[in-house]
Structures are given as C-alpha cells and as structure tokens.
Structure 1
C-alpha cells in the first residue's frame, strides 16, 4: 500500500537535501514551494488577486510576481500575510492534492514536502510526519551563510516559524542533520531500512 509521508523541518535545516535523497530512492516528491509558485504564475488568477491586494509594485516588468517585494510586505505584517495566504493556500492544496493522487494511482510512495506543515495544521493530511532537525543556532549560521543575512535577519526568519524543538516533539520521525551531508545520507538510509522501504545492505562478498 503506497504511503504518504509529510516531510518538514525549519528554515535551513536541510529539508531540500533530504527530499533529494528520498527522490533518489524512488519516492515521488510533491513540493509545496513549487505548487506555491504555480499558484501565482504569470497569467494566473492567483497573480491577479495578488496584484489587486499589493498593487503594481508586486508585479515585475515581465509580468511575474515580485517575490522579494511581496515577501518584505508580509514579513512583519501578519494581517497582510493572512490575506496573501487566503489567496495562495487553497490553490496550493488543490495542485498538491492532484499531483499526490496521480502518483498514488501509479502505486508510488509520496513525499509531501511542506515547510510550514505544522504552521498550517496539515499533519492530518499525511500518514506520517518526518522532520529534518538541526538546532536553531545551526539554522541561523546556515541562513547567514546561504542568504548573506545579518544575524538579526537570520534570527527573525528562524523565530517566525514554530521552534524546531517543538516540531520535533510533534513529529513521528526525526531525521538528524546536525552533522555532515554524508552523515545525513546515512541517517536517511538507516531510516528507510528501519521502515521497510529499503533492503538492508548485505555484508557478504
């Protein structure tokens, strides 16, 4: 019976890397970020609604959503963020649901890659939740390095989500990403063997 796994974490915990590792083992990835981009792509109804809410500054010269501008507007304004979510989230769910069902129909295990799974109360839409864990200090360090952010900005982004420690207590499975990429790969493979998705490696010659 194909399984639906919710994959989540916090910003800069390494969730995308885990999604790539799972994809290499045959899981089909349904990515919330890709669906969110499709929901407001050029010419879409979603983009028209964003334009109506934020004005001309929210649209780039080539007719796409200016993600940086919109992100800045909603980051410190929760009321505006809720209005944006009311536009985007229903469309994202519809797109993800259709993709998930298509893969399940073909008999594949599906990973629902949802960064804000707990923030949006989506844990009941999957069979299990797997969380990629890195400490908050590691999240901040990785964010500063990856996005060239100040300490203050990196912390603001980390603290805008439910804390990774709280999420880890809610998840069915916690995937440790405190170490190297190789250690993460080994942790994922151990989990897949434990869950019966992967055959244990033979040590015989």
Structure 2
C-alpha cells in the first residue's frame, strides 16, 4: 500500500520548518514551490507562458524572471491573478503528479508540500492532508518580518489564499505551529507514528 500525504498551510505559517523536519526523518517530500521555480526558469515550461502574458516588464536584465516584479503584477489584480493561475495550473499539476508517481515506485510513503493544495483542488490525489496552522495575527507578523512587507502587502498576499480557518476544516490532521519548535516537532513525530501504524 502506498500513501501520499499533502502538507499545506498559509503563507509564512511554517511549512518549510515542517517539511525540513520530515526530510530529516528520512521521508521524501515533493516541494511544489521549488518545482514551480524550476519550471519558471529561462527555457522552462512556465517561463514562456508568463512572458507571453505579462511581456518583458517581468524580466530581469539577465533575461530570467524578476520575481519581485512578477509578484507585484500577480497580486495587483484579482482577475488577472485568476487568469495566470489557470494558465499555469495544468503544467504544474502534470509535473507534480508525474514526480509523485515516480517516487511511489520506490517508496511507500511520499509527502507533497503544496501551498495552494485546496485552492487548486489537489486533495483528491492524496490519502491525507496535514495543515500547518498558525494564529492569523502571528501569520501576519511573521510574513511582514520575513519578507519586509508593509501590513497592506502582507494582508494582500494572505487574502489571496483560502483562510487558515477554512483550511483547518478541510484537513485530516493539524500541526499547530504557534508555539515553540520542540512542540511542533513532537506533533510531527506523533503523526508519523500514526501513518506508519496505518501502513502496517
């Protein structure tokens, strides 16, 4: 029996902390953000899609995507954001599921770190969804501090995603990352034991 578990959460909720720990425990984790960045590099499948849509204003002097400029364009208009997401989604989905299938030929448990898991309807491709939860006020403060955003910029990016409260309702398991790191790790350890027990 093979098992695929999705890890999701809001922006700056601590998904990387959780997935890095899961990797340290010896499990395979597919990082959707890293794959998207790979696809968006010059010559990648998404690079031309974005260039055709936005034009050269999203390019850095070296011809690669200027991620800051792309982010500003992407979050500036909700309608445009939906159009761009739709253009990219099919390519991203194909790549993510192909990598999952390749790993499942070698491993019986694979994790997929997908920030927009519910927004892009990946849950049907997974056995379980684990949410990395953070108090919304903490989430806002962490995002502002981490990215140097103003409150308005941070709120704009948080509101572009499904709320953490709504994601909590739809998830199978919740990892509360509002406390200290040791507490977060203990929660992950308990969940990993549960999964191993189910697989046996």
For the criterion TM > 0.5, the same-fold answer is yes
- The separation in 2 between residues aligned to 1:122 and 1:182, in whole angstroms, is 30
Partner of residue 163, structure 2: 163
- Specify the structure having the higher radius of gyration (Cα): 1
Alignment check: 8 A CA contact 2:40 2:65 kept: yes
Q: 1 CA distance for matches of 2:69 and 2:29?
A: 28
Give 1:36's aligned residue: 36
Instruction: For 2:169 and 2:46, locate their aligned partners in 1 and report how far apart those are by CA, in whole Å.
Output: 35
My pick for the range that moved more, 21-30 or 132-141, is 21-30
**DSSP-derived class of the 2:52 partner:** helix
Normalized against structure 1, the TM-score is what?
0.90
Q: Does 1:176 align with 2:176?
A: yes
**Distance (whole Å) between structure 2 residues aligned to residue 68 and residue 197 of structure 1:** 44
**Mapped contact 1:27–1:108 kept (Cα < 8 A):** no
d(CA) in 2 for partners of 1:77 and 1:27? 38
Q: How does 1:34-113 map to 2 (within 5 A)?
A: 34-113=34-113
Residue ranges of structure 2 left out of the alignment (5+ in a row): none
Q: Does 1:143 align with 2:139?
A: no
Residue range with higher mean Cα deviation, 161-170 or 77-86: 77-86
Deviations 1:35-56 (A, max 9, x none): 1112222123421221121111
Q: CA deviation at 1:169?
A: 1.0
| Alignment-derived partner of residue 22 in structure 2 | 22
